[in-house]
Chain A
Amino acid sequence: MAKLLTTILTVLVAVIASAGLWTIANLVFNQVERNWSRYKLLTGAVGGFVLGALIAGNRVTVGSEGNFFNWVWLPLLLAVCVGGGAALLPNLSDQRSRLLGAAGIGAAIALLITLLTRTAYQPALDWLALVLWTIGAAAVGAGLAIVLRRPVVPVAALIAALGALVGGWGAAEIGAGGFAETLVATAVPLVLVGARAGWRGRPDETEVLDIERRARAGVFLAPAVIFIAIMLLIPTLRTIYLSFLDARSEKLVGFYNYWWVFQRPDTWNLSKIGNFWGSRLLWIGAVLLLVSLVLGLVARQRTGRAVEIGNPTFLPLVCGTLFVAFALFSVWRGTIANNIWWVVSVSVFSTTLGLAIAVLADNRKLERTAKSVIFMPMAISMVGASVIWRFMYTSRDATQNQTGVMNALWVGLGRLSTGSGIPTYVIGVLLIAACIALLVAVARALVGQRWGAAAMPGVLVILLGWFTLRYWAVWGGGVGGFRIRDDGRIQAQAVEFIQNQPFNNMWLQVVLIWIQTGFAMIILSAAIKAVPTEFIEAAQLDGATPTQIFWKVTLPSIATTIGVVVTTLIVTVMKVYDIVKVMTNGNFGTQVLANDMANTAFQNRNYGGGAALAVLLFLAVLPVMIVNIRRMQKEG
């Protein structure tokens, strides 16, 4: 009850305070037109108060500890100084005296603050840092001003003041300095701010209107800007800064952390790359690529184009490339390789499956039910899904019953195929029957010279035939989870989905594919429904087959949406964390950048290394984000 009350009270106070601040800000901006000096006085006083509150609130000054009123007087004093200065100075018509006056007020305030600063906070000034930061910031400010077409000197002075603050206080060892050093570190930024303030005198009529307009816009923008700065901008900058410090964020180490990331075998491991040529995936991929080459040559003779979306060359080409890529990932180990593997397989499979379901379910009976079921995993949290799948992948010793669904099926299949009971023969006969049926379908298509219709059953009959041959032990003693021991006896053998490297990565990816397929399906389904029916009817009138309509009409119409889905998926997958954390915590060669980052920073307390990994992840995601945002802006 007490908690409820405090919560309600907090909310009430926050709402009233926000409304009050907003009203007051607008009242202040009313003064822009009416009374310029009063406007300057008010804004100056607010600025001075905030500065004082920041200093005293952080207990930098003498007497700022203890009760409330001990630190209130400094903000009030600064409010009077800054407000008064801001109100009076613009009345001077001569720029030089204005500048001198403003700089003088800045220096006076600096002296006041320095006198009050506790010895424990006096910075041991790093002169070089102060100079470099100030000049560097001034240069950045000047550049910005030129790009934004603003007056150069005031902007440069303001940014230089920020730089001086960082160089004077941020780079210095706090508490080891003396009075003079504190004075310099305080005075340089404040004098620069003064220079900015004194640069201009009273604005004329049009300028006043411009200032008022921008000030009011600023009030509306401020909450969002402050929020983004606190939640996004400052953490990003701080992470980049931390990545140049050592493990405990104490010493600058330059690019050491980045070197450290790349020299670890965990990040970048090429020791198994020699197995590439022995990889079965590579040879399957090579055969598929060869098939697509042959088909491509034929297609070129006929239509003049070797590869075209939807022509027979297309599928073997894509599948072959994927197989070769997966062969490469299975031997190129390490965090970065794993991340790329995740990106490739999840974005490709989720999009393809989502698209296939969206197309096949379109305007069929039970479309809604089917889509709801497939969308359902999106409602499960990543951690929940990982726990579920971990149970499904569980393996047990060969002598035990398998508790994981996958292994129960696999070992069951092994028992079936190596057994000699009635079920074994029933299934075996059914398999043979299915093969024969498929062969008949292929033969009929071939006789009718419908080459396209022969392709699908053709591929299926090869796969099913291979399976049937294995099942009947014509080739390889059977299929499923079993192994033949040295003494000839047959023993159950579970697959350790989570532990068997390197393909455990793919079993982990399955979880995300399972989740994200629903997302891809929903978006693509909406896009397909938005394709104008006129296009499709026109194509039908021209005698296009449904396959041709899909490849030549529907697909090009939804190309942009596919792009959005793929880029969104890529960003999601690059940041994958929960699944790996829950299922392996990066053990068994499944480490990915995000989990590596969290473990390095928070488990091993190597904040520098963790920050470097975070920056790398950020850099990897950045281009995709830029592409995404650009496209969104174009559409807007």
Chain B
Amino acid sequence: MRRRAKATMLVATGLVGSFTLAGVATVGASADDEVPMATGEVPVYGDFGGAVVTMNGPERSEEEAGALIQVLGAFAEANNIDFTYTGDADWESNINVQVEGGSPPNIAVFPQPGKLADFAREGHLVPLSDAVVDSVNTFWNEGASGYGNVDGVQYGVPVKSDLKSIVWYQPAQFAAAGYEVPQTWDEFTALVDQMAADGVRKPLCVGIESGTATGWPFTDWVEDLVLRQSGPEVYDQWVTNEIPFNDEHIVNAMQTVVDLWTEDNVYASGGSIAATAFQAGGDDLVEGRCWMHRQANFFASFIPAGTPFADGSENAVDVFYFPDINGDRPVLGAGTFAAAFSDDDATMAVLQYLSTNEYATARQKAQAELKGGGVSGFLSAARGQDPSVYLPLEQSFLEILNTAEIFRFDGSDLMPADVGAGTFWTEAVKLVTGEVDAQTAADNIQASWPS
């Protein structure tokens, strides 16, 4: 029963009311939805005569790409489609080259709706067929599918959901040290100071090294801070550049993050934050070198195998909601969207399957099996999934995603790629290494915003 109680507590801290324990069990389906639960069978939409469908995306780990290929491969076989998926470590730049060179895949999985919108407006993407749009509307709420909608036309199929406003920690160790889960931002900073003063472990684990994408974890922190300090309206204006990037609100948020990331507060296994891989914090958290790690739900993949999740044991890891400032409980999330570069039936059939509860359930099942226990790293907010494939912890993630009143998509993924996957990252690295101050970094990013 400890597990259940834990999940309840998490969601209670994350949400403003309207939560019941029964809600956890139905995975994202609110009472008035009439979506039948996934049956676990592979749907057959027809015989496509061995039509070739190629797909690529940034997911490439054994678990992620493996589960994707396993599930879509079974679907392709049942529908007589010649399907291949390629996971690409440098997908963000290679997809540009493929599109510019006139040889894009049939389907690409976009982690950035901003990039999807760019391609759609430039006429590279094909709008979804009516059948796929219907399927998307059946299984996804508008909050999620809206990010695949460009100027009123649906191009993207949501396939994966991420929750970012959470902090990983070890409840039993917290309790043993006499710390309590912070409910407000002031409590959070006070806790950080307390932990730094106690000196048993560093308060936070932070790493921003991520190969060619080095710097992105900083952008997540800034987004959460803008959302908390200045509210969703300012956040939306910031993302569309209605207010400039070097606006006071944004510079303040950046400064807050940097002020928090002091040498006393942060454990960085690489010696400094910029030299530490973002994945590295998993070991450090479990092996007792830091107390907290603010990172999205997919961070579960980087927690050492065999670590118990939220079962009340001594070393178990769990999450708490990244505290807010104004009591409005904003949630930062992200997700991936599949979109088509060609307008043929087989491609649309694959996209239709991607949008369904059947795919989400099968994918989660396959990925959990490949992972061999614990949190799978996959999460889908599609309606009508079989809840038994998710752990209670994962169900609570979904509950937060589906019921948050203020939900915002990862801002850097919505910005033009020049900024969101370019200067925002590089200037973040400069800021974190102390090469520039927050104002200069923000000025430089604003200067790079495409006109």
Interface residues of A (CB under 8 A from B): 247-248, 265, 394-400, 494, 496, 498-499, 501, 581, 585-589, 598-599, 602-607
Could you tell me if B275 and A395 are in contact, using CB atoms closer than 8 angstroms? yes
Could you tell me if A605 and B96 are in contact, using CB atoms closer than 8 angstroms? yes
Known interface pairs A603-B92, A606-B418; A397-B215 also in contact (CB < 8 Å): no
Could you tell me if A499 and B96 are in contact, using CB atoms closer than 8 angstroms? no
Number of A-B contacts (CB under 8 A): 71
Contact residue among B211, B214, B270 (Cβ-Cβ distance under 8 Å from A396): B270
Quick one: which of B55-81 are within 8 Å of A by CB?
none
For B267, list chain A residues within 8 Å (CB).
397
In this assembly, does B435 line the interface, its C-beta being within 8 Å of a C-beta of chain A?
Answer: yes
Contact residue among B274, B417, B444 (Cβ-Cβ distance under 8 Å from A588): B274
CB distance from B192 to the nearest CB of A (A): 19
Could you tell me if A498 and B97 are in contact, using CB atoms closer than 8 angstroms? no
CB distance from B388 to the nearest CB of A (A): 41
CB distance from B210 to the nearest CB of A (A): 10
CB distance from A173 to the nearest CB of B (A): 16
For B450, list chain A residues within 8 Å (CB).
247, 606
Quick one: which of B262-278 are within 8 Å of A by CB?
267-272, 274-275
CB distance from A76 to the nearest CB of B (A): 29
Known interface pairs A586-B426, A588-B433; A602-B93 also in contact (CB < 8 Å): yes
What per-residue 1/0 map shows which CB atoms of B284-303 lie under 8 Å from chain A? 00000100000000000000
Known interface pairs A588-B429, A589-B435; A496-B272 also in contact (CB < 8 Å): yes
Could you tell me if A396 and B271 are in contact, using CB atoms closer than 8 angstroms? yes
For B214, list chain A residues within 8 Å (CB).
585, 587
In this assembly, does B233 line the interface, its C-beta being within 8 Å of a C-beta of chain A?
Answer: no
Question: Nearest CB to that of B119 among chain A residues?
Answer: A605
The 7 tightest CB contacts between A and B, nearest first, are A602-B93, A395-B271, A604-B418, A603-B93, A604-B422, A585-B212, A587-B429
Could you tell me if B97 and A499 are in contact, using CB atoms closer than 8 angstroms? no
For A585, list chain B residues within 8 Å (CB).
211-212, 214
For A589, list chain B residues within 8 Å (CB).
435
Besides A499-B433, A603-B422, 5 more A-B contacts (Cβ < 8 Å) are A585-B214, A587-B274, A588-B429, A599-B93, A604-B422
Known interface pairs A587-B215, A605-B96; A499-B272 also in contact (CB < 8 Å): yes
CB distance from A330 to the nearest CB of B (A): 14
For B289, list chain A residues within 8 Å (CB).
397, 399
A499–B270 alpha-carbon span in the complex (Å): 10
Question: Nearest CB to that of B99 among chain A residues?
Answer: A605
For A399, list chain B residues within 8 Å (CB).
289
Question: Nearest CB to that of B210 among chain A residues?
Answer: A585
Contact residue among A265, A395, A586, A607 (Cβ-Cβ distance under 8 Å from B270): A395
A494–B275 alpha-carbon span in the complex (Å): 12
A604–B419 alpha-carbon span in the complex (Å): 8
A212–B269 alpha-carbon span in the complex (Å): 74
Could you tell me if B418 and A605 are in contact, using CB atoms closer than 8 angstroms? yes
In this assembly, does B10 line the interface, its C-beta being within 8 Å of a C-beta of chain A?
Answer: no
Question: Nearest CB to that of B420 among chain A residues?
Answer: A604
Contact residue among B97, B268, B271 (Cβ-Cβ distance under 8 Å from A602): B97
Could you tell me if B122 and A248 are in contact, using CB atoms closer than 8 angstroms? yes
A587–B426 alpha-carbon span in the complex (Å): 7
For A247, list chain B residues within 8 Å (CB).
418, 450
A581–B213 alpha-carbon span in the complex (Å): 11
A89–B421 alpha-carbon span in the complex (Å): 62
What per-residue 1/0 map shows which CB atoms of B428-441 lie under 8 Å from chain A? 01000101000000
Interface residues of B (CB under 8 A from A): 92-94, 96-97, 100, 118, 122, 211-212, 214-215, 267-272, 274-275, 289, 417-418, 421-422, 426, 429, 433, 435, 444, 450
Question: Nearest CB to that of A272 among chain B residues?
Answer: B435
A599–B215 alpha-carbon span in the complex (Å): 15
A196–B92 alpha-carbon span in the complex (Å): 50
Q: List 15 A-B contacts (CB under 8 A).
A: A247-B450, A265-B444, A395-B270, A395-B271, A397-B269, A496-B270, A496-B275, A501-B433, A585-B211, A587-B215, A602-B96, A603-B93, A603-B421, A604-B417, A605-B118
Question: Nearest CB to that of B423 among chain A residues?
Answer: A604
Residue among A499, A589, A604, A606 with most chain B CB within 10 A: A604
Known interface pairs A496-B271, A585-B211; A603-B96 also in contact (CB < 8 Å): yes
CB distance from B101 to the nearest CB of A (A): 11
A494–B271 alpha-carbon span in the complex (Å): 7
Instruction: Say whether chain B's binding surface is mostly helix, strand, loop, or mixed.
Output: helix
For A581, list chain B residues within 8 Å (CB).
212
CB distance from B317 to the nearest CB of A (A): 20
CB distance from B5 to the nearest CB of A (A): 35
Residue among A397, A400, A496, A586 with most chain B CB within 10 A: A397
A598–B214 alpha-carbon span in the complex (Å): 17
For B421, list chain A residues within 8 Å (CB).
603-604
For B444, list chain A residues within 8 Å (CB).
265
A394–B272 alpha-carbon span in the complex (Å): 11
For A598, list chain B residues within 8 Å (CB).
93
For B270, list chain A residues within 8 Å (CB).
394-397, 496
A396–B274 alpha-carbon span in the complex (Å): 12
CB distance from A194 to the nearest CB of B (A): 34
For A498, list chain B residues within 8 Å (CB).
275
Known interface pairs A499-B275, A603-B417, A605-B417; A400-B422 also in contact (CB < 8 Å): no
For B274, list chain A residues within 8 Å (CB).
499, 587-588
CB distance from A419 to the nearest CB of B (A): 21
Could you tell me if A400 and B269 are in contact, using CB atoms closer than 8 angstroms? yes
A496–B273 alpha-carbon span in the complex (Å): 11
A503–B118 alpha-carbon span in the complex (Å): 39
CB distance from A564 to the nearest CB of B (A): 35
For A398, list chain B residues within 8 Å (CB).
271
Could you tell me if B422 and A396 are in contact, using CB atoms closer than 8 angstroms? no
A248–B100 alpha-carbon span in the complex (Å): 10
Could you tell me if A396 and B122 are in contact, using CB atoms closer than 8 angstroms? no
CB distance from A610 to the nearest CB of B (A): 11
Could you tell me if A396 and B417 are in contact, using CB atoms closer than 8 angstroms? no
For A587, list chain B residues within 8 Å (CB).
214-215, 274, 426, 429
CB distance from B96 to the nearest CB of A (A): 5
CB distance from A271 to the nearest CB of B (A): 10
Question: Nearest CB to that of B421 among chain A residues?
Answer: A603
Question: Nearest CB to that of A498 among chain B residues?
Answer: B275
CB distance from A595 to the nearest CB of B (A): 10
A378–B169 alpha-carbon span in the complex (Å): 48
A398–B268 alpha-carbon span in the complex (Å): 10
Residue among B96, B267, B271, B418 with most chain A CB within 10 A: B271
Could you tell me if B271 and A501 are in contact, using CB atoms closer than 8 angstroms? no
Question: Nearest CB to that of A587 among chain B residues?
Answer: B429
A359–B93 alpha-carbon span in the complex (Å): 46
CB distance from A517 to the nearest CB of B (A): 28
CB distance from A594 to the nearest CB of B (A): 14
CB distance from A234 to the nearest CB of B (A): 15
Could you tell me if A397 and B96 are in contact, using CB atoms closer than 8 angstroms? no
Known interface pairs A265-B444, A499-B275; A396-B418 also in contact (CB < 8 Å): no
Question: Nearest CB to that of B202 among chain A residues?
Answer: A397
Question: Nearest CB to that of A333 among chain B residues?
Answer: B435
A587–B92 alpha-carbon span in the complex (Å): 17
A589–B429 alpha-carbon span in the complex (Å): 10
A397–B269 alpha-carbon span in the complex (Å): 5
Contact residue among A248, A501, A606 (Cβ-Cβ distance under 8 Å from B435): A501
Question: Nearest CB to that of B270 among chain A residues?
Answer: A395
For B429, list chain A residues within 8 Å (CB).
587-588
Question: Nearest CB to that of B448 among chain A residues?
Answer: A604
A370–B320 alpha-carbon span in the complex (Å): 60
A353–B47 alpha-carbon span in the complex (Å): 66
Question: Nearest CB to that of A601 among chain B residues?
Answer: B96
For B275, list chain A residues within 8 Å (CB).
395, 496, 498-499
CB distance from B28 to the nearest CB of A (A): 34
CB distance from B99 to the nearest CB of A (A): 9
Question: Nearest CB to that of B440 among chain A residues?
Answer: A265
Contact residue among B93, B271, B435 (Cβ-Cβ distance under 8 Å from A397): B271
For A607, list chain B residues within 8 Å (CB).
100
For B100, list chain A residues within 8 Å (CB).
607
